[in-house]
Amino acid sequence: MITRPLSVPKIQKIAVSSFLAYAATFVLLFYYMLNFNWTISVADSGITNGLLALCCIVFSTLLGYYQPKSEPVIYVLVVTIILASFVTFTSTFLLEQVLEDANYSSFLQLTKPFRFIIVFIFLVWWALVNLLWYRLEEQSQMKERLFAAQNLAKEAELNKLRHQLQPHFLFNSLNSVYALTIVNPKEAGPMIMKLASFLRGTLKRDDEVWVSVAEEMEYIQLYLDIEKVRFSHRLNLDVQIDEETLGKFLPGTFLQPIVENAIKFGLYNTSAAITIAIRVNMEQDLLKITVSNPFDPDMKATGGTGFGLTAIKRRLYLLFADQNLLQTYTQEPNLFVTQLKIPQHNDQNHTH
């Protein structure tokens, strides 16, 4: 298994401080309890613990770049024995060469097994600390990769839903053009031109995840112009937008399916003129958009796939993890209301 070597400054500072305290303890032990002079005490601690520190760095590097998938305990024990033997015998040899003291030389030979055990225990502890750190780091990286993959999947689904809404509207508009060529051929040409402008604007803003209310309302106005060509005097609009909302943001292509739904259920089953009302205002930190249309409770509504509102609900859940941001209800007298709420945050990342 390949992992990255330990390289966190804070951990390094803690390790260095702990090791210096460990070396200082050895100096004091030799001087005050074993009654060696300062030269011997400092030399023994410096050489022995200096080699130990070098082996700790080597061990961390080995564990950082390679950890066997099978039998990791045996691997750690073998490396620990090799390094502990190196520290013990090398430090003993160097100390005998540097310090010419008969009593101290006898002490070195007598304590060699004890030195090996201490170094071995220290290296085992160091290996366990490193293994634990690398496991935690690997788990953290795995969580980051999983989070990134989930975000990519969410973005892919959002893009899929956005692109599905465009042909959904296009098919409905083409049906409207076809109907208009039969009912009122003179208006078919202007409607096709407005449809072309609408689709051109759709392609232009295809990469925009978030758009301002002002931009979205311009987009909706083109759509309403197309519908007014088709329905003429039968379709009346009452649009009220609070000025403070014009700079707020909402996901692109959210509003058009809602308005389309209001027109479909408001006009398709009646020959009378109706009014579609659109209200945009702020409710605390929520951008609230309300679309209402009259309906006849005694008439069966025109059938449809319901894809538009379903797609919006799904996109809202993917963006905000909230199932209640899109609500529909009836209101007296015979008014069907669709209410959309979009959370607004100062640190929200809008892509234009």
- As a whole number, mean pLDDT of residues 198-226 equals 77
Predicted local distance difference test score (pLDDT) of residue 41: 83
Residue pair 209/350 in contact (Cβ under 8 Å)? The answer is: yes
Q: Which residue has the higher pLDDT, 281 or 186?
A: 281
Q: Which residue has the higher pLDDT, 156 or 6?
A: 156
Res. 161: pLDDT tops 80: no
Query: What are the structural domains, with CATH classification, of the chain?
Result: 9-146 (no CATH), 184-343 (3.30.565.10)
Q: For the CA atoms of the chain, what is the radius of gyration?
A: 38
Predicted local distance difference test score (pLDDT) of residue 233: 79
- As a whole number, mean pLDDT of residues 42-57 equals 86
Confidence of residue 5 (pLDDT cuts 50, 70, 90): very low
Predicted local distance difference test score (pLDDT) of residue 314: 80
Confidence of residue 339 (pLDDT cuts 50, 70, 90): very high
Predicted local distance difference test score (pLDDT) of residue 4: 45
Non-local CB neighbours of 320 within 8 Å, separated by 6+ positions: 343
- Distance between CA atoms of 51 and 74, rounded to whole angstroms? 23
Res. 281: pLDDT tops 90: yes
Confidence of residue 305 (pLDDT cuts 50, 70, 90): very low
- Distance between CA atoms of 315 and 317, rounded to whole angstroms? 5
Res. 37: pLDDT tops 70: yes
Q: Which residue has the higher pLDDT, 23 or 216?
A: 216
- As a whole number, mean pLDDT of residues 171-190 equals 78
Q: What value does the mean pLDDT of the chain take?
A: 78
Confidence of residue 280 (pLDDT cuts 50, 70, 90): very high
Q: Which residue has the higher pLDDT, 185 or 170?
A: 185
Res. 90: pLDDT tops 80: yes
Predicted local distance difference test score (pLDDT) of residue 261: 83
Non-local CB neighbours of 54 within 8 Å, separated by 6+ positions: none
Non-local CB neighbours of 86 within 8 Å, separated by 6+ positions: 51, 55
Predicted local distance difference test score (pLDDT) of residue 204: 63
Predicted local distance difference test score (pLDDT) of residue 73: 79
Exposure string for 188-199, b = 16+ CB within 10 A, e = fewer = beebbebbeebe
